[in-house]
Structure 1
Amino acid sequence: MRKDLIALSDDSKVWVYQADKTVDDDTEQRIKEDLHDFSMNWLSHGTPVDCYVNLFHKRFLVFVADDTNHVSGCSIDSSVHFIKALEQKYGLNFFDRLTFAYVKDDEFRFIHNSNLNPAYKSGQITDDTRMVNNLVKSKEEFLSSWIIPLKESWYKKLIR
């Protein structure tokens, strides 16, 4: 059952999926309608999942689920199947984990893993560059640490 983000507990589970391209306004609206429909029917062992789902910045799918009633593996699988259907419907890829997002000049920018070190060495990306951490696991972590400086993120381990 769809809830407001604020209504869910801080330890609610979070999954973030980054699209391979930014969608236009019309596609954004249609995806948000699909997300609403999914959230109203998302079940775990026949029980509605208290959840919040949204598309942020026309690129990031965010699923937040209250785990009080234990979100089951089957319900997680159903969300992945739903995302795969969105990919097909809109010509997107939400499962490319080798492209990283960061914020520069108040805009989201994207860089492939193989270009991260050269970008760091050239100064395009610095320790203070705000990186998007799509590996956040809880609502609290999403709200506090979804976008953090490179020096405080797991990305720093990739810099050589």
Structure 2
Amino acid sequence: MKRVWIYQSNRFLQAEEITRIEDILQEFVSQWTAHGSQLAGSFVVRYNLFLMLMVDEEQAMVTGCSIDKSVHLLKKIEQELDITLFDRMQVAYKASSSGKLCIASRDEFAALVENGDVNSDTIVFNNMLTAVEEVAEKWEVPLKDSWHARVFL
């Protein structure tokens, strides 16, 4: 299985910030180990907003310590770039009218749903996925097909 961790920034990243993140993550995944075994790690930055960190566990399994190392690194990236990557109360969605990617706090998103600006067909991002294989079909989904529906509909 290929595991994925999806981190959403609290704001859209600038080109130079993405370059910096890519440099940091490239160095990290090239040295990422679990109990002395090299992990087959990779990453991607999507939509100037999401960092996806991945590991092919068919080559070597991640451990609590190796996950802790990645979290520690991401917290350093947060500090360096003055961003937040661990705020699960931020909702990313595509505006129904324009398809533009937007970010809202949980309360703002609830208000958008109540006002009808967001509806059950609005595309949201399910950052809770853990398998890379799920990203293509289960990451960008209509609100009604996501865990968001239980909270907001």
Q: Which runs of 4+ in 1 moved over 4 A?
A: none
- Residues in 1 aligned to 2:139 and 2:88: alpha-carbon distance in whole angstroms: 16
* Aligned: 1:71 with 2:62: yes
Q: Which residue does 1:54 correspond to in 2?
A: 44
**Which consecutive residues of structure 1, in runs of 5 or more, have no partner in the other structure?**
1-10
Residue pairs, 1:111-150, within 5 angstroms: 111-150=104-143
Quote how far apart the aligned CAs of 1:159 are.
Answer: 2.1
User: What TM-score, normalized by structure 1, do the two folds share?
Assistant: 0.89
Q: Which residue does 2:85 correspond to in 1?
A: 94
Query: Alignment length, in residue pairs?
Result: 150
Indicate the larger mover: 54-63 or 148-157.
54-63
Q: Which amino acid aligns with 1:119?
A: L
The CA RMSD measured in Å over matched residues stands at 1.2
Quote how far apart the aligned CAs of 1:13 are.
Answer: 0.9
Say whether the 8 Å CA contact 2:4–2:52 is kept in structure 1. Answer: yes
Quote how far apart the aligned CAs of 1:15 are.
Answer: 0.4
Say whether the 8 Å CA contact 2:3–2:132 is kept in structure 1. Answer: yes
Deviations 1:58-97 (A, max 9, x none): 1111011112222111000000000011011111110111
Secondary structure in structure 2 of the residue aligned to 1:14: strand
Deviations 1:94-124 (A, max 9, x none): 0111011001223210111112332112111
Say whether the 8 Å CA contact 1:102–1:132 is kept in structure 2. Answer: yes
